[in-house]
Amino acid sequence: MLWPAVAAAGAAGFALVAHVLNPYEGGNYPTCPWLALTGTYCPGCGTLRATHSLTEGNVVEALQRNPLTVAAFVLMTLGFIRWARRQWRGEQRMTAAPAWLLYGLFWVIMAFWIGRNIPGWTWLSPV
């Protein structure tokens, strides 16, 4: 159970930093190098702000910053529960997810990357 504990502590630490050091206030964090260089949003843009909003219980605001981050947090939590349960019971993972699911995830991320940079489509962009 060492690694599940490390992962949980890491996630809690990230949420704590995002909550205490408000990413909505300019100057608390440097601008993402990708955004500074290209002026476009990568799929991760808005993650810190979305996390801050979630720690305040504001799910709508978090979805406005980065809907994929919120979805990923839900999936990661479910995956974490399964993983920690296996570790607790001393079991090994015996199944591999179908490949189309992983390729689908890849294309969802790529489409999201493009979609959030289309001018006028602000519902995917972090602003």
Partner 1 sequence: MSDYGSTPPPPPPGGGSTPPPPPSGGGYDGGAYGAPPPSAGGYGGVPAGPPPPNNLVLAIVSLLCCWPLGIPAVVFAAQVNGKWNGGDQAGALESAAKAKKFAIIALVLGIIGTLIYIALFAFGAMNADTTTGL
Q: With contacts defined by CB under 8 A, how many residues of the chain interact with partner 1? A: 45
Query: For partner 1, which stretch binds (CB under 8 A), given 8-16, 18-26, 54-62, 117-125?
Result: 18-26
Stretch that binds partner 1, among 8-16, 55-63, 92-100, 117-125 (CB under 8 A): 92-100
Query: Within 10 A of 112 (CB to CB), how many other CB atoms are there?
Result: 18
29 touches partner 1 (CB under 8 A): yes
- Positions 64 through 83 that interact with partner 1 (CB under 8 A): 83
50 closest CA partner among 36, 67, 31: 67
Q: Is residue 115 a contact point for partner 1 (CB under 8 A)?
A: no
Site string for partner 1, 30-69 (x = CB under 8 A): xxxxxxx----xxxxxxxxx--------------------
46: which 2 tokens?
Answer: 């808005």
Least gap, CB of 59 to partner 1 (angstroms)? 19
Tracing tokens 């994929």 back to the chain, one arrives at 68
CA–CA–CA angle 122, 125, 127 (5° rounding): 85
- DSSP 3-state helix, strand, coil percentages of the chain (rounded to 5)? 65, 0, 35
Place of tokens 């349960």: 85
